[in-house]
Structure 1
Amino acid sequence: MLPTAASRSARRARLHLLRGRVGLGLVAALSVLAGMTDAIGLLALGDFVSFMSGNTTRLAVAISEADLALILRLALAIFSFVAGNALGVMLARRLRRRAAPLLLIIAALLACAAWPLPWTFPALVLATLAMGMLNAVVEQVNGLPIGLTYVTGALSRFGRGLGRWLLGERRGGWRVQLVPWAGMLVGAAIGAWLQQRLGLLALAGSCGLACLLALVMGFVPRAWQVGFMVR
């Protein structure tokens, strides 16, 4: 018996719901990776590697204090993050929007950043470059914009959605903005714990998580990956 229009519609609805749940699971895991790496970078290097709002404020303060060394360091971090986002888009398209190879490249950058050197510039550049690239792995889930390495936008969207809900509007999607925030919070706690025991080598934990997520992406349907990733 051929499926009816109603059964096809129900099947599409189930797939849409499942795709959304898988996407949010990936967002949570990738946000844990971002939070881990940012906490390790802040504690081991003294600078944020994914929170560029904080680095921008610190850069402004450094400029006001004429601290040339800090100005150059923070400007380099911000430039590396922007370059990582641009490179992530280019690689995503070159890799035909396959997330696993991109995550393995990110893992390689984090592994190199974990290598101990007498100066920290290389680790800062590599880690911020990796975090910029991470944003290309998931850009949206079922049409909802998602940020992986920063949560100010997520909290803002959640707050605006809460305001509309309190006014009686029943729009969907605003609650999911807490997923990347919670993931980053948990990841930062894990990263801080690892850094206190391993120092900069804790970035090897971020590398391992990126490799694990690359393996997981192999089980995500190709069409879903294309829908999640940066366009």
Structure 2
Amino acid sequence: MTQLDRSGLTLALMLAGVAGFVDAVAFTTIGQFFVSFMSGNSTRLAVSVAQGAWREVGFAAGLVALFVTGVAAGNIIGARAGRKRTTLLLLVEALLLAAAAVLHAVGRPAAAAPLMVLAMGSANAVFMADGEVRFGVTYMTGALARIGERLAAAATGAGQIHEAMPWLALWIALVVGAVAGAVLALRHGGIVVAAPAVLLLAALLIFGERIRSQSD
């Protein structure tokens, strides 16, 4: 990662943990679909087509479309927010998750799913630079590929093994978040998605200036 990436690593780890948490909550409450891991939903869509399960096909396709919409909306919001890009995107993510928690609380998990997907999509705009995501915080395939690349570089003398550590940390953050989300959701239901919303709002209050600096 670049120096700028390292300065934002704490924020990235928090967002990866939130993504894992939210994805696990969704997986346990909306019929084993994902709100962050779109490769999984794409596979679910394909298998459902093969099985002729058209309701599941429509649901999976809708989640994928909403994720893309969230990414697009996040980038539009970020482009218009300027220096307040990161602050505003985190606020949007927190509010979407808070609204999803309310819907879970009133027994409408299917209605909460679109808000959770939009939140995860918009989170990917936080680390956008020059039209590209510097590193994803809601999916880890890229991070795992980077780990493999760094290990190969270290083995051939073209790099050092510690260069893989930030990517490994991102993966661990997502997994730890997912474990917490699954444990809490299985015990208390989807309302626990309020926890990452509170975490994001607390981060804005406590680390506001530092978070804003990530947009510079």
TM interval, short-chain normalised: 0.7 to 0.9
Secondary structure in structure 1 of the residue aligned to 2:157? coil
* 2:126 is the counterpart of 1:154: no
What CA RMSD, in Å, does the superposition of the two structures yield over aligned residues? Answer: 2.2
Alignment partners' CA distance in 1, 2:122 and 2:171: 19
Per-residue deviation at 1:61?
0.2
Secondary structure in structure 2 of the residue aligned to 1:109? helix
The residue that corresponds to 2:100 in the other structure is 113
Secondary structure in structure 2 of the residue aligned to 1:96? helix
The one-letter code matched in structure 2 to 1:220 is R
Give 5+ residue unaligned stretches, structure 2: none
Contact 1:37 1:191 in 2 (8 A): yes
The residue that corresponds to 1:82 in the other structure is 68
Alignment partners' CA distance in 2, 1:67 and 1:23: 43
One of 39, 49, 55 as aligned partner of 2:35 = 49
Per-residue deviation at 1:175?
3.0
* Greater gyration radius: 1
Alignment partners' CA distance in 2, 1:168 and 1:183: 28
Pairs within 5 Å for 1:138-153? 138-139=127-128, 145-153=134-142
Q: Flag the structure with higher helix content.
A: 2
One of 191, 197, 201 as aligned partner of 1:207 = 197
One of 101, 104, 111 as aligned partner of 2:88 = 101
Per-residue deviation at 1:79?
0.5
The residue that corresponds to 1:5 in the other structure is none
Alignment partners' CA distance in 2, 1:221 and 1:133: 16
Per-residue deviation at 1:189?
1.1
The residue that corresponds to 2:183 in the other structure is 193
The residue that corresponds to 1:122 in the other structure is 111
Give 5+ residue unaligned stretches, structure 1: 1-15
Alignment partners' CA distance in 2, 1:97 and 1:78: 29
Secondary structure in structure 1 of the residue aligned to 2:88? helix
Residues 216, 152 of structure 1: alpha-carbon distance in 2 compared, 3 angstrom cutoff: farther
The one-letter code matched in structure 1 to 2:88 is P
The residue that corresponds to 2:22 in the other structure is 37
The one-letter code matched in structure 1 to 2:113 is L
Alignment partners' CA distance in 2, 1:27 and 1:221: 11
Q: Which runs of 4+ in 1 moved over 6 A?
A: none
The one-letter code matched in structure 1 to 2:70 is G
Contact 1:100 1:213 in 2 (8 A): no
One of 26, 29, 38 as aligned partner of 2:11 = 26
Contact 1:107 1:207 in 2 (8 A): yes
Alignment partners' CA distance in 2, 1:180 and 1:112: 26
Pairs within 5 Å for 1:3-14? none
Aligned residues: 208
Alignment partners' CA distance in 1, 2:170 and 2:49: 32
List per-residue Cα deviations over 1:124-183 (Å, max 9, x = no partner). 11100100001112247xx99311000011001110111121112126744321121011
